[in-house]
Amino acid sequence: MHQRVLFQVGFDFAVLTAVVVLFGMSQVGEPSTLMPGVAAQGLSLAAFLCLINTASGFYEPAHKRSLTQSCIRALVCILLVLPIAFLIGHLMPTSVLPAAALPAAALLGTAVVVGHRVYAAHAVLPAGLRPRVLILGAGERAARVGHTLKEADAGAELVGYYLTPNEGEIVVPAHQLLSAQESLAELVQRLKVHEVIVAPTERRGGGLPMDQLLACRTQGVRVLDMSSHFEKTLGQLRVDCIDPALLVFGKGFNQGSLRLVVKRVCDIASATLLLLASTPVMLVTALLIKLESPGPVLYRQERVGLNGRTFNVIKFRSMRTDAEKDGQPRWASAQDDRVTRVGRVIRRLRIDELPQIFNVLLGDMSIVGPRPERPFFVEQLVCELPYYGLRHSIKPGVTGWAQVRYPYGATVEDSLQKLQYDLYYVKNHNLLLDLLVLFETVGVVLTGKGAR
């Protein structure tokens, strides 16, 4: 899933940069000598547009918004980019374009990008271009896959459900059941299926036509199990359909020495830059906390980190000092009455997390990773949620895939949903995914999405 989002961001970035550069070069007299300045303006403007698109939700699945909502977001993007273009044109030392050239190029490029983003989200592809999907199974699991496919991948075309021999109760609509008189391989070839998702109720006892599935593979048809489908479509590893053998023998979960070194170097560089940039904000925050309520500005709380080792996370205090006067740990809720007025603001803007930069520099945390949890809750969640311990195979993060993909939660069910995103990150984490998480974190902060 993250590869698709990265492609969308990269496409928008490249298109706007190219439009600005081409438009700019047509406005200046000596293109060869002025190219660096024009390119710098185009790159800066493209970065801002991608951030605005992220904050607007343009890279989220299209089913979450209507066509009208997409058009309104496109208009907002254009209105926001224009003043940014004026600022870049007047403030950048490399500014070389005429006063109105950069805004004009920005308007043209943004119209192209957001227009394409709206069209791509809501256009109905011709039947010949839509991926055709067949689901093997007809029970509850197959129905769940079909629902997910309809909600999260509207471009795909579900050709129907193929009944397996050991299927129990049939849950899917009768009119979508395919005839079992024809073999699976022949049916796939006749219906021109591109992908088969294996989701039977019962997989034991020879219920899967393995020879037919192999024949599909040799025809160039993609065959996925449920876990791989949810991973590709939702960016999750669903704990209710994970095959332990796939975790052991499948791809992913790479923890090589080179990856660890690169991640640590990036953490130190990012934390240092973030510390320099955020120092004024942290100083103002510390003053406001001190003026509003008695008590320390910072607080330390024990959290579980890499390999289950505990450490003290550092955060700005956002609650009253008597928040847990009875000594009993409690989940922090979205409208927690223990939160101070200043605390509510800094939690909404994620400013309370900034002191965790020092945890990153000390090596206890990474910039990107699963959210560290308190030992009291970890003991509870390890018992209730399968595979929860896998979160601790990498360093916890200041931000993470679960934080940008799921709103703030304070229940075991919320923890389950976030765990499934965390498991996806643990399995697939790499530098590009880290960059995407950081990019989307900016959008989350700008919109206050999932604020506590």
Strands 222-225 vs 195-198: parallel, antiparallel or unpaired: parallel
Q: How confident is the model at residue 96 (pLDDT cuts 50, 70, 90)?
A: low
pLDDT at 300: 92
- For the residues 412-440, what does the mean pLDDT come to? 89
CA 75 – CA 52 distance, rounded (Å):
12
Residue partners of 125: CB distance under 8 A and separation at least 6: 155
Q: How confident is the model at residue 109 (pLDDT cuts 50, 70, 90)?
A: confident
Q: 63 versus 115: which is more confidently predicted?
A: 115
Helix (H, G, I), strand (E, B) or coil at 258: helix
pTM of the model: 0.81
Residue partners of 447: CB distance under 8 A and separation at least 6: 55
Q: 445 versus 429: which is more confidently predicted?
A: 429
Amino acid found at 232: K
Q: How confident is the model at residue 136 (pLDDT cuts 50, 70, 90)?
A: very high
Report which of 264, 296, 262 is spatially closest to residue 397, judged by C-alpha positions: 264
pLDDT tens profile 68-84: 777 887 888 888 888 88
pLDDT tens profile 51-70: 888 877 777 766 666 777 77
Tokens of 350: 């994620």
* φ and ψ of 407, to 5 deg: -65, 165
Residue partners of 117: CB distance under 8 A and separation at least 6: 8, 12, 53, 58, 70, 74
Average pLDDT, the chain: 83
pLDDT at 330: 63
Amino acid found at 303: R
Q: How far is CA 144 from CA 138, 155, 176, 270, 422, in A?
A: 10, 18, 14, 40, 21
Report which of 132, 185, 142 is spatially closest to residue 163, judged by C-alpha positions: 142
Long-range contacts, 285-291 (Cβ 8 Å, 24+): 285/316, 285/342, 285/346, 285/351, 285/354, 286/316, 288/342, 289/316, 289/317, 289/340, 289/342, 289/343
Residue 306 buriedness (CB in 10 A; 0-12 / 13-18 / 19+): middle
Report whether pLDDT(122) > 90: no
- For the residues 113-137, what does the mean pLDDT come to? 78
CA 375 – CA 83 distance, rounded (Å):
48
Residue partners of 62: CB distance under 8 A and separation at least 6: 70, 121, 122, 154
pLDDT tens profile 374-395: 999 999 999 999 999 999 999 9
CA 400 – CA 406 distance, rounded (Å):
10
How many of the other CB atoms lie within 10 Å of CB of 330? Answer: 13
How many of the other CB atoms lie within 10 Å of CB of 11? Answer: 15
pLDDT at 413: 85
Report whether pLDDT(324) > 70: no
pLDDT at 246: 73
CA 341 – CA 362 distance, rounded (Å):
30
Asked if 182 and 190 touch (Cβ cutoff 8 Å), the reply is yes
Residue partners of 347: CB distance under 8 A and separation at least 6: 318, 339, 451, 452
pLDDT tens profile 181-235: 889 999 999 999 999 999 988 766 556 888 999 999 999 999 998 888 888 888 8
Residue 385 buriedness (CB in 10 A; 0-12 / 13-18 / 19+): middle
Q: How confident is the model at residue 362 (pLDDT cuts 50, 70, 90)?
A: very high
